[in-house]
């Protein structure tokens, strides 16, 4: 029953230590500025694909860092590579290069 206008989400347990973080390590090597992300969400707020679909580039980055690559691999193709996100990033992360590198790492 939902009498308060909200409900409590199902608990979601992430066994962080068991996840494979090799993709995150490789990304960090190939696109070092991806380590500078502070998760501000500026990129996703500006994202062209995010305005048209449920794509969320900030969430995608977090998934990669957690080693949750299956969902990230499914989401990647929604990015149109327009480059808008990198013009707003306060940390100078080359998000477009990051996406292209992830395509190579996740789909090869
Ligand atoms: S705008 Fe830059 S710092 Fe902010 S979440 Fe996106 S990539 Fe990270
Ligand atoms: S390059 Fe991709 S992630 Fe960045 S704004 Fe364009 S569609 Fe969004």
- pLDDT value of position 15: 80
Ligand 2 centroid vs 62 CA: distance in angstroms?
A: 16
Q: What is the mean pLDDT of the chain?
A: 92
Please indicate, yes or no, if residue 9 is contained in any of the structural domains. no
- pLDDT value of position 75: 93
Please report which confidence band the pLDDT of residue 74 belongs to, taking 50, 70 and 90 as the band edges.
very high
> For ligand 1, atom 8, which residue shows the shortest CA distance?
37
Please indicate, yes or no, if residue 26 is contained in any of the structural domains. yes
pLDDT in tens, 27-57: 999 999 999 999 999 999 999 999 999 999 9
Please indicate, yes or no, if residue 4 is contained in any of the structural domains. no
CATH number of the domain bearing residue 93: 1.10.1060.10
Any atom of ligand 2 within 6 Å of the Cβ of 14? no
DSSP assignments along the chain, one per residue: ---SS--PPPP----GGGS--HHHHHHHHHSGGGGG-----HHHHH-HHHHHSS--HHHHHHHHHHT-HHHHHHHGGG-----HHHHH-TT---HHHHHHHHHHHHH-
Boundaries of domain holding 79: 19-107
Domain count, the chain: 1
Any atom of ligand 1 within 6 Å of the Cβ of 95? yes
Please report which confidence band the pLDDT of residue 16 belongs to, taking 50, 70 and 90 as the band edges.
confident
Find the mean pLDDT for residues 95-99: 95
Please indicate, yes or no, if residue 33 is contained in any of the structural domains. yes
């Amino acid at each position: 029953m939902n009498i308060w206008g909200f409900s409590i989400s199902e608990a979601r347990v992430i066994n962080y230590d068991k996840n494979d973080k090799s993709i995150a390590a490789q990304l960090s090597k190939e696109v070092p500025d991806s380590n500078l992300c502070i998760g501000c969400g500026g990129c996703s707020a500006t994202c062209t694909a995010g305005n048209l679909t449920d794509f969320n580039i900030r969430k995608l980055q977090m998934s990669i860092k957690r080693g949750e690559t299956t969902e990230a691999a499914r989401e990647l193709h929604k990015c149109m590579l327009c480059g808008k996100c990198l013009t707003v990033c306060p940390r100078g992360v080359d998000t477009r290069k990051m996406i292209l590198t992830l395509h190579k790492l996740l789909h090869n």
